[in-house]
């Protein structure tokens, strides 16, 4: 089976709908046909200030949501990045073959450093994509399913793999990004030209997977819509409705055309009510299961520890190969 790797940052309160549609849903589908490895990337999370107590809680919550959403930690590997030491070790090596200008061109770095302001940025934020490359290369991943915003980082990963292989001999597999076109980007419900994101300035347009059902329904009912009253997909003229149609189609497994037909002649209200129902039906069981898993943190930690051992078994072998190629003296 081809090897798959992907990851997500731990999120304090909950993952959001964009993470579910852009990543988790694909992960769940691909895990049966791939040798899949999923990571909660807590080392990446500390590139912005974190409260230690919250970070630990967020890491567990995120892992619980992976499982609740259908990632099977007995079949796939589901682990926490900081529990496998090879990640920062390989990242250090890759830092030394990454150009300063190359790293400066990363869009996410530019956006995040602007947001933090000159004083708030740190070197970790700058080398963030290099750590991401290490994550992927340690596992000889062939495919990396992500949302559109990660494309550039996977390109960098390919470049670094290729560069290392050229200089030091074949060591790494060059991975490919897998980005589902229709679901590459879920937009904010209140500002449907912005990506839905946990760091949005207002969370009124962000649907959290762990929101109470009534809150989810309310957010969808008050989503910004467009002029006109027709439920029709047109991302230029009707970005709000088009975003809702995409979400509806993905969560219900129906086609957009089919949904347009159902609401032909109905107003936006009926359409939103239908979507609210579908969304609540999707997330209610996931929410219940997540809370159940979080009720027994010791059991969850035990699952994660076992999975970290499995991950380390693969990562340590790759790291040893890279150490050898780079010319580090083996410990006798
Ligand atoms: P992160 O934590 O920001 O997001 C996790 C995944 O969710 C996708 N995503 C979206 N997809 C569609 N619409 C949206 N509105 C939306 N918001 C988020 C992201 O594209 C991503 O797939 N750097 C990565 C984490 C990472 C990683 C890795 C990913 C670290 N190492 C190795 C893959 C492989 C990140 O910050 O994702």
pLDDT of residue 272: 96
* Banded model confidence at residue 13, pLDDT cuts 50, 70, 90: confident
**Cα 69 to Cα 290: distance, rounded to the nearest angstrom:** 9
Write down the catalytic residue from 110, 198, 218, 238: 198
Alpha helices (H) in the chain, listed in sequence order: 17-19, 25-30, 42-45, 52-68, 86-95, 100-104, 107-120, 123-137, 151-168, 213-221, 239-252, 256-262, 268-294, 297-326
Q: What secondary structure does DSSP assign to 265-319, as a single string?
A: T--HHHHHHHHHHHHHHHHHHHHHHHHHHHT-HHHHHHHHHHHHHHHHHHHHHHH
Q: Identify the CA nearest to 86 among candidates 131, 19, 42, 35.
A: 131
pLDDT of residue 218: 96
**Cα 13 to Cα 200: distance, rounded to the nearest angstrom:** 14
Q: If you measure from the C-alpha of residue 223 to the centroid of ligand 1, how many angstroms do you get, rounded to a whole number? A: 23
pLDDT of residue 329: 96
Name the closest-CA residue to atom 5, ligand 1: 8
pLDDT tens-digit series, residues 168-201: 999 999 999 999 877 768 999 999 999 999 888 8
Atom of ligand 1 nearest to the CA of 8: 2
pLDDT of 312 higher than 90 = yes
Q: Which of 3-7, 86-90, 162-166, 182-186 has the lowest mean pLDDT?
A: 182-186
Active-site residue flag, 195: yes
Q: Which of 174-188, 263-277, 282-296 has the lowest mean pLDDT?
A: 174-188
Atom of ligand 1 nearest to the CA of 146: 22
pLDDT of residue 148: 87
Question: By CB neighbour count within 10 A (0-12 exposed, 13-18 middle, 19+ buried), where does 201 fall?
Answer: exposed
**Cα 279 to Cα 208: distance, rounded to the nearest angstrom:** 11
Write down the catalytic residue from 115, 195, 219, 272: 195
Write down the catalytic residue from 110, 112, 218, 238: 112
pLDDT of residue 298: 98
**Cα 98 to Cα 140: distance, rounded to the nearest angstrom:** 19
The pTM is what?
A: 0.94
β-strands 35-40, 77-80 pairing:
parallel
| Helix, strand or coil, per DSSP, at residue 73 | coil
pLDDT tens-digit series, residues 92-128: 999 999 999 999 999 988 888 888 776 778 999 999 9
Active-site residue flag, 110: no
Residue at token pair 């000889």: 140
pLDDT tens-digit series, residues 72-85: 999 999 999 999 99
Cβ 66 vs Cβ 78: under 8 Å: yes
Name the closest-CA residue to atom 34, ligand 1: 6
């Amino acid at each position: 089976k081809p090897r798959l790797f992907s990851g997500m940052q731990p999120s304090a309160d909950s993952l959001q709908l964009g993470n579910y549609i852009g990543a988790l849903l694909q992960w769940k589908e691909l895990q049966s046909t791939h040798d899949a490895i999923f990571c909660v990337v807590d080392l990446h999370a500390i590139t912005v200030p974190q409260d230690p107590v919250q970070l630990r809680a967020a890491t567990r919550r995120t892992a619980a949501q992976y499982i609740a959403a259908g990632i099977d930690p007995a079949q796939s590997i589901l682990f926490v990045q900081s529990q496998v030491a090879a990640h920062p070790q390989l990242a250090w090596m890759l830092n030394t073959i990454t150009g300063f200008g190359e790293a400066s061109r990363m869009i996410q770095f530019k956006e995040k450093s602007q947001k933090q302001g000159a004083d708030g940025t740190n070197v970790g934020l700058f080398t963030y994509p290099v750590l991401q490359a290490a994550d992927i290369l340690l596992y000889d991943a062939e495919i990396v399913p992500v949302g559109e915003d990660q494309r550039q980082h996977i390109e960098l990963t390919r470049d670094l793999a290729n560069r290392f292989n050229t200089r030091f001999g074949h060591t790494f597999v060059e991975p490919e990004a897998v980005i589902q076109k229709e679901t590459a980007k879920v937009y904010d419900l209140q500002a449907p030209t912005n990506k839905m994101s946990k760091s949005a300035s207002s969370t009124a347009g962000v649907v959290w997977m762990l929101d109470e059902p009534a809150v989810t329904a309310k957010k969808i009912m008050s989503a910004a819509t467009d002029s006109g009253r027709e439920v029709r997909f047109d991302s230029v003229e009707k970005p709000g409705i088009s975003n809702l149609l995409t979400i509806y189609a993905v969560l219900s497994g129906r086609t957009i055309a089919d949904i347009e037909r159902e609401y032909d002649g109905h107003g936006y209200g009926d359409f939103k009510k239908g979507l609210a129902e579908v969304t609540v039906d999707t997330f209610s069981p996931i929410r219940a299961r997540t809370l159940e898993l979080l009720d027994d943190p010791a059991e969850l930690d035990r699952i994660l520890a076992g999975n970290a051992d499995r991950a380390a078994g693969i990562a340590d072998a790759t790291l040893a190969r890279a150490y050898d190629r780079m010319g580090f003296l083996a410990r006798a």
